[in-house]
Chains A and B, each alone.
Chain A
Amino acid sequence: MAATYSYMASTKFSMPGWAGGKRSSIRKRVSSLTFCVSAQQQSPVEESQEVRPPPEEDSSSAQQPQKQRLRPVEPQANVKSRNMSREYGGQWLSCATRHVRIYAAYIDPVTSEFDQTQMDKLTLILDPTNEFVWNPETCNKVYAYFQELVDHYEGAPLTEYTLRLIGSDIEHYIRKLLYDGEIKYNMNARVLNFSMGKPRILFNNKTEEDQIQDVQ
């Protein structure tokens, strides 16, 4: 499966140095956020089953029993690659580790246009080197965890440090998924160095009754 997964979420981070008018417009955008999980270069079947804008989610989402609901950013049309303007110091906010790339920008899932001026959104690109075998279910788990973290860090300053905290937590989560056997190493990956530990059999399998006992 040669696919790169990406996910976008709106943030409520505070942006140091932004003018007051700008900040109010961010709040407005956040309050009207809607839904889209997009998978880059993915089959249209999966695309359509994941894009479901739910009706009126603002008030209901707080009391939902299933709290890790995905509420990504709506897909936009005619996105152009734009850099940050000089007014904001041309800053480039990202957190890039091997399996998690987080950008404070809108990245178009189809054309990969990179709009850095939309800093109220975070885009997660999951495992761009295809080290693991992903399916939509495990992807959505990671996306849900990402959404939960973004909500958790609401109000934090939008800096690289915060993005690194989020990215590191997602990496630890991916490692947990790997140890629980939910994702596997992709044996056809270009680089096969097992960066999260060598493959093992039944590493975290606590439910197994007939485990091999330690020799006394």
Chain B
Amino acid sequence: MQGRLSAWLVKHGLVHRSLGFDYQGTETLQIKPEDWHSIAVILYVYGYNYLRSQCAYDVAPGGLLASVYHLTRIEYGVDQPEEVCIKVFAPRNNPRIPSVFWVWKSADFQERESYDMLGICYDNHPRLKRILMPESWIGWPLRKDYIAPNFYEIQDAY
């Protein structure tokens, strides 16, 4: 089963893998980290001018880290805009994914949060530093192998 965007990418010879459709029927594609920056530019030129959300998650203990992008094509007079979901997987020991900040500016804080929580390094991000945790924090709190430190004020919050 192949969606419209996947067929279009195949026609232009762009490497990707289709992951099917999510529960709302949005097409989901997997793209390699090294291709992601060029394909992001191509998708922007294609018409996906709105990065609706960016998030990241840890796929499995000891497995890959994923960075997820939901793109929407906003046009006048359209009530069912085209949507696509892009997933980029990176290995845990050296998670490097090109930043899409220079394509969609709204990726700024989302990518910083993904860096803060999961330690994914977004290349070419202008100010990649921790956004939620204190800057001197050690470790990546949302990874599955993270062990929370025995801090007094965390476990005794009253």
Contact = CB atoms under 8 A, between A and B. Distances in A.
Interface of A: 97, 157, 159-162, 164-165, 167-169, 171-172, 193, 195-196
Nearest to A99: B152
A190 B47 CA distance: 64
Interface in B134-158: 134, 136-138, 149-153, 156, 158
A161 B136 contact: yes
Contacts of B134: 160-161
13 contacts: A97-B152, A97-B153, A157-B136, A160-B136, A161-B134, A164-B149, A164-B151, A167-B152, A168-B151, A169-B150, A171-B152, A195-B156, A195-B158
Contact of B136 (A97, A159, A168): A159
Contacts of B137: 161
A157 B138 CA distance: 11
Interface centre among B137, B149, B151 (most CB of A within 10 A): B151
Chain A: interface secondary structure? helix
Interface in B93-145: 134, 136-138
Contacts of A161: 134, 136-138
A157 B137 CA distance: 11
B135 to A, nearest CB: 8
Chain B: interface secondary structure? loop
The 9 closest A-B pairs by CB, nearest first: A159-B136, A171-B152, A168-B152, A161-B136, A168-B151, A160-B136, A97-B153, A97-B152, A160-B134
A195 B137 CA distance: 26
Contacts of B152: 97, 167-168, 171-172
Interface residues of B, number: 11
Given A165-B151, A168-B152, A195-B156, 7 more contacts: A97-B152, A157-B136, A159-B136, A161-B134, A165-B149, A167-B152, A168-B153
B158 A168 contact: no
Nearest to B134: A160
B8 to A, nearest CB: 48
Contacts of A165: 149, 151
A214 B152 CA distance: 32
B147 to A, nearest CB: 13
Contacts of A159: 136
Interface in B41-96: none
Contacts of A97: 152-153
A82 to B, nearest CB: 23
A169 B134 CA distance: 19
A193 B136 CA distance: 32
Interface centre among B136, B138, B149 (most CB of A within 10 A): B136
Contacts of B151: 164-165, 168
Given A195-B156, A195-B158, A168 B150 contact: yes
Nearest to B153: A97
A60 to B, nearest CB: 34
A171 B150 CA distance: 11
A11 to B, nearest CB: 15
B156 to A, nearest CB: 7
Nearest to A100: B152
B48 to A, nearest CB: 40
